[in-house]
Structure 1
Amino acid sequence: MNNKLFLAAALLCAAPAWANPEWVAAEVVKLDPARSKITLKHAPIKSIKMAAMTMPFRVRDAALLAPLKVGDKVRFHVAEKDDELVIQEIEEVKR
């Protein structure tokens, strides 16, 4: 009984990755709404041990790209879906 109680408490205390996503700073380098893609020059993504770099990402919904333009400073968070990093949310950072 105590083991089950301990396990339940541990599961409640452990925050799943999706519950508190890591926001990553970036700059928009290229937009491709037709393909639901964006190229970002991003800071390190600590949760997946990825170094800072410039790379393309798929977005979960092309509508997320509508308010953005090349050169915008943004913050985003990603999730792994079908062995690919997909941007779940992205927003412009007001200067």
Structure 2
Amino acid sequence: MKAVKYVLVTGAIAVTGALSLGAHAQSQPHSGAHHGSSPSPAASAAPAAAEMTEGEVRKVDKENKKITLKHGAIKNLDMPPMTMVFNVVDASLLDKVQAGDKVRFTASNEAGKFTLVDLQPVK
């Protein structure tokens, strides 16, 4: 009986120590300098979200704040190359382009609607 009690107490102490170390590790800032560590999901998502996609303007619909683009793969949306219509956050973005222009853009999925958040003509 004493052996079982000893094993249970030793196990409880080991678990408590492990939990304490885990909580301490989570509270420390992540520098990325540790060997064998990988960047946090937020750190790896930031570059993908900021990465612009190349495309060509097919149609500009200022009245409805929409633009049709033939575009390459949009990595942050996991979308293959295609031609599609995007909503535009800011209608003034449409003043910069016309059908046939080459552009670079950033898009997001806003409540199920693909929305252009940045648009830059390629010179």
Q: TM-score range by the shorter chain?
A: 0.7 to 0.9
**Post-superposition CA distance 1:13-46 (Å, at most 9, x none):** 7254388512000000001011110000001112
Choose the corresponding residue for 2:74, options 45, 58, 67. 45
Unaligned 5+ residue runs, structure 2?
Answer: 1-23, 31-38
Kindly indicate whether residue 40 of structure 2 is the aligned counterpart of residue 17 of structure 1.
no
Paired residue for 1:72? 101
| RMSD between aligned residues | 2.1
Query: Higher helix fraction: Structure 1 or Structure 2?
Result: 2
Max Rg structure: 2
**TM-score in terms of structure 2 length:** 0.66
Unaligned 5+ residue runs, structure 1?
Answer: none
Query: Amino acid of the residue matched to residue 27 of structure 2?
Result: K
Count of residues in Structure 1 that have an aligned counterpart in Structure 2: 91
**TM-score in terms of structure 1 length:** 0.83
Query: Amino acid of the residue matched to residue 65 of structure 1?
Result: L
Query: Which portions of structure 1, spanning 4 or more consecutive aligned residues, are displaced by more than 3 angstroms?
Result: 15-20
Sequence identity percentage: 37
Paired residue for 2:120? 91
Identify which of structures 1 and 2 has the higher relative contact order when contacts are C-alpha pairs closer than 8 Å and 6+ apart.
Answer: 1
C-alpha distance in structure 1 between counterparts of 2:78 and 2:49, whole Å: 17
